[in-house]
Chain A
Amino acid sequence: MTFKWPLGKVPESPTNPRPVGARRDFDVADLYRGPVPDAADGGTGGAPLDEKLRQAYFWIVNSAIISPFYDIEYSDGAPQTFTFGDSAVKVTLPSGQSYSSFVLLSLLNLIVRRRCLIVGGPGRGKTATAILMGVIAGYPIREVKRAIQHGQPQMTIADLLGNPLPRDLVSAESMDAITIGWRKWLGMRVKIIDEYNRIPTRTQSALLTVMGDNYAEILDQIFECPDAAWYLTANDDAGGGTYPVIEALRDRIDVVVKALHFNTRFLGDLLQRVEGGVKPEDVVPPQIVFSEDEIDRMNRDIMAVGLPLPLRRRIEFFCSQFEFCESAASQVEYMTKDTVKLAAMDVGRVMAAETGKDKVRDIGSQTRNGVSVRSLMTLMVFVKAMAYFRGSPEVEIEDVRQMLPFVLHDKLSPNHDSPFFEQAGHGPLRMDRVSWLRRLFDLACAEYDRLDLDRQDPVAAMEAEFAAGLDGLSESVTRARLVAIERLLAEWAKGRKFYGHMFDDVLKLKYLHQRYTNYLRWVRWKG
């Protein structure tokens, strides 16, 4: 993917126009609403920041990028679908406003200040997109370019972080007296690491400290870094390269997006770009440049976006599927894929040995690990950011469905030995993780609906009862609740099958049972 043309026209606000009534009291400042946007109010004419964010997105996809793809599909009503070829390739024309993941995820990452890995072959605009984000964050283009850390096999920690001043190395009598010349990029709010998989392992560890803990350390000297949006690029999705990427570093990456190929139908635009000799990052309109304060405000606004309880329950249900591994242990708490990994066993093999369950229907069999807390936190941030971007006060299920694959891309590792991948038409899902993860979420939702958990969720009802507090609860009521938990467990046990989603529910019931038991003992003692 390359860039289209330089002097971009920012889409006019509002992007969602609504009729406005005539006002009795006019604002004399309306005099200056006109063809020239005001850079002081972000050029949005005082429009909300989510509007400015959309303007930035649309400027990038309409003016800066050649051949954008619309792979984040939203539909208002049934979309048109066409089927091609023997393998029944479906082409969907979304009926709603759809988005280019490559641009959207990068932009959302800028606002929520997380860590975005852009993967794809050479010359697809990975670094250019990261640079564009730096400019949109308000940094001069020259400063952004100079701050890029280019991964290369000889990169040392000093190259990455800085050097002690030679004079101090000779004359200092203690470590404290050594002054470090820190690299400027450490203090920036947009950090770009180009080809991070070419960085030597030792230097990767130093990078991990900066990425994970937001500080850099050389000779006992500490540099505290500000919260920043990180952009890492790699040619190889699997993290391969000159050096293997250490797992902890990969784990710190929050979202992964792919820079897709160049559509040759846009060669004319490319020619125009070459002839014009202007790069989009050189001509970003000032009205889509965000100040630090604006990004902070958007961050707060994003956190205020609601995540409705029914939707949260679906996310819980989905994520609960993957950690459980029945044959990993004798005690229920340890029946996890993590137990298998810690024992240096192969998760796929252990699960293959399990019998008695429909492994095609059990979506937990499709992964080699569970969803980490860090991934869950990232998922919640990005689904809120997506809802905010779309101007919605609450997260909707489609926001989750669309964001989830990019958050879990490198987090949920597929178990290619699962019978699911042997099913007809599922072969490509071994390679196409975005589609696989989206399918996984769809399957989880279908199961959630089949179990009718929106209406009949006894664990949720018990959670609500418990959340009301134990203060003043009588002995008889406590006993009744204990009995209810025991009955529910007994009922589930009759089903004989123990699936992933039941695992967390059983553990939650055990937790509630324990809390009530302790409380009951205290009530009796109090007498």
Chain B
Amino acid sequence: MEGLTPNALGLLRARRHVFNAGFTAARGLVPGLDGQAVLAHLTDTLLPIAEAVAAVHPDRAGETLERLYLLSLDLIGRGVIGPAGRHPVIGDGWRRLLGGLPELTATAPEAMARIVTNALHTLSTTAGTRPGQWIDLMAAVGPVCADDHVFAECGKVAAWRAGMAHYRNGALAVCAGLDASLAAALLELPDPFQTGAGQTGAGRIGAALAVLREDPWRVPAEAATPGTRQRLDVVARVGGFRGFGGPFLTPPRVAVHDGGIAAADAEAAFLLYADACGCLLVRLDQPVLPSSPMADAAFGLFRDGRVDKGGMTGTFPQLAEPSSWASDGDTLAVTLPDSHFVFLVAAS
């Protein structure tokens, strides 16, 4: 293996028999397990992580490498990680987070690998999310995390921030239980907020969380200084034609369902989750559009695309002649007869 540091070579030599036996064993289960892929993962991902660990805990580097290697064999065999992995962002996550947070990795290598792998796998398989943002946020808060449990809690909030809109309530609850500085970092609240006088850090976070609970379209970074909503906007659109990677086969329609918004095409129905962090559709068991009465009349929609809400008015010609609309009080969902998208209007 060319280009390896003497330290890395030493780590490999010390556990050579374990690595070889592990690979032989793994190939017994996955005959197609590619030796070159394992080597590439070892040199590109695992050895840099082990070297980062060696820099802070030389005595744990070998064991960390061994544990991550054995875990990797299974994941490479299943196409989760490695050069041929289905989601390259998982490899990025290992390198940036496991390698970038050697204290945590040295203490709990398997737990850290599980947290990073599973979170990035979930994000990668959920349309409309931003796994890269999750890595950025976790890289920012990781050095402040006391252990892998705190890191995992932060990951839940980061997942919401990265587009998992359906985690909103859970993430805000987790955020309330975190250390104030960690919560502020995850919400990307501005520095003056963190150093401001008058309230305690926890009090300020509590106030910001209250704002976020009230207003799903409030960007977390603005929660510390919430201004008054001035106007209505088309804040997002969600969906798309299945032929282009979207969920709908035919132009969808929307309806209120259980206090939320559901959208359905000719084949399947979905629940809509949308806020300032992201929008996504979660498939329902029943294939037909649930129909229940509108939750409230917070929004008014007119045929020419004009929308009213609490004294605010906006005109959106692109929403003229809608085929259906529904509101949960904060968001107005509108569909058009010739579009596979659901358009979302909210105060901004």
Are A and B physically bound partners?
A: yes
Contact B29–A63 (Cβ < 8 Å): yes
**Contact indicator B29/A28 (Cβ below 8 Å):** no
Other 17 A-B pairs with CB < 8 A, given A22-B271, A32-B122, A34-B119 = A7-B26, A7-B29, A7-B73, A7-B74, A9-B74, A26-B170, A29-B156, A32-B115, A32-B119, A33-B118, A34-B114, A34-B122, A35-B117, A36-B71, A36-B75, A37-B114, A278-B24
- Give 1 or 0 for each of A1-28: 1 = CB within 8 Å of chain B CB: 0001111110000000001011011111
Q: Is the CB of A31 within 8 A of B167?
A: yes
Choose from B28, B169, B171 the contact partner of A25 (Cβ within 8 Å).
B169
Taking a contact as CB atoms closer than 8 A, the residue among A7, A26, A39 that contacts B167 in the complex is A26
Q: Is the CB of B271 within 8 A of A24?
A: yes
Residues in B with CB closer than 8 Å to A4 are 28
Q: Which residue in chain A gives the minimum CB-CB distance to B113?
A: A36
Quick check: A36 and B26 within 8 Å, CB to CB?
no
Chain A residues whose C-beta falls within 8 Å of the C-beta of B12 in the assembled complex: none
B78 within 8 A of A: yes
| List of A residues within 8 angstroms of B119 by Cβ | 31-32, 34
Known: A7-B73, A22-B285. A31 touches B25 (CB 8 A): no
Complex CA distance for A123 and B185, rounded to whole angstroms:
61
Interface of chain A, main secondary structure? loop
Per-residue CB contact flags for chain B residues 1-42 toward chain A (1 = under 8 Å, else 0) read 000000000000000000001101110110000000000000
Task: Indicate with 1 or 0, residue by residue over B37-80, a CB within 8 angstroms of chain A CB atoms.
Answer: 00000000000000000000000000000000011011100101
Complex contacts, B122 vs chain A, CB 8 Å:
30-34
Report how far A22 CA is from B270 CA in the complex, Å: 9
Report if B218 contacts A (CB, 8 A).
no
Interface size for B (C-beta < 8 A) is 44
Q: Is A100 an interface residue (CB 8 A)?
A: no
Separation of A7 and B73 alpha carbons in the complex (Å): 9
Which of B114, B117, B122 has the most chain A CB atoms closer than 10 A to its own CB?
A: B114
Q: Taking CB as reference atom, which chain B residue is nearest A6? A: B25
For A262-287 the 0/1 string (1 means CB < 8 A from B) is 00000000001001111000010000
Contact (A28, B167) CB under 8 Å given A22-B285, A36-B114, A275-B24: yes
The binding surface of chain B is classed by DSSP as helix
A-B pairs, top 7 by smallest CB distance, nearest first, are A34-B118, A28-B170, A6-B25, A5-B28, A36-B114, A34-B121, A7-B25
Interface residues of B in 91-119 (CB under 8 A from A): 110-111, 113-115, 117-119
CB of B224 closer than 8 Å to a CB of A: no
With A31-B164, A35-B121 already in contact, the answer to whether A278 and B78 are too (CB < 8 A) is no
**Cβ < 8 Å to A, chain B residues 142-195:** 152, 155-156, 159-160, 164, 166-167, 169-171, 173-174
Name the residue on B nearest A277 (C-beta). B21
- Check: B282 CB closer than 8 A to any chain A CB: yes
**Nearest A-chain residue to B29, judged by Cβ:** A9
Closest CB in chain B relative to A13 CB, distance in Å: 14
Q: Does A38 contact B (CB under 8 A)?
A: yes
Q: How far is the CA of A28 from the CA of B153 in the complex (A)?
A: 9
With a cutoff of 8 Å between Cβ atoms, the chain A residues found around residue B22 in the complex are: 7, 278
Task: Contact check, B80 vs A276: say whether CB atoms are below 8 A apart.
Answer: no
Taking CB atoms, residues of chain A closer than 8 Å to B118 are 31-36
7 pairs across A/B with beta carbons < 8 Å?
A: A8-B29, A22-B285, A24-B260, A31-B167, A34-B122, A36-B118, A278-B22
Q: How far is the CB of A22 from chain B (nearest CB, A)?
A: 5
Instruction: Say yes or no: B80 contacts A7, CB within 8 Å.
Output: no
Residues of A within 8 A of B29 (CB): 5, 7-9, 63
> Is the CB of B258 closer than 8 A to any CB of chain A?
yes
C-alpha spacing A396/B121, complex, angstroms = 41
Q: Which residues of the partner chain A approach B121 to less than 8 Å between Cβ atoms? A: 34-35
Given A5-B29, A22-B271, the answer on whether A32 and B114 have CB atoms closer than 8 Å is yes
Chain B hits for A38, CB < 8 A: 114
Say yes or no for B237: interface residue by CB 8 A criterion. no
Is the pair A276, B156 in contact by a Cβ cutoff of 8 Å?
A: no
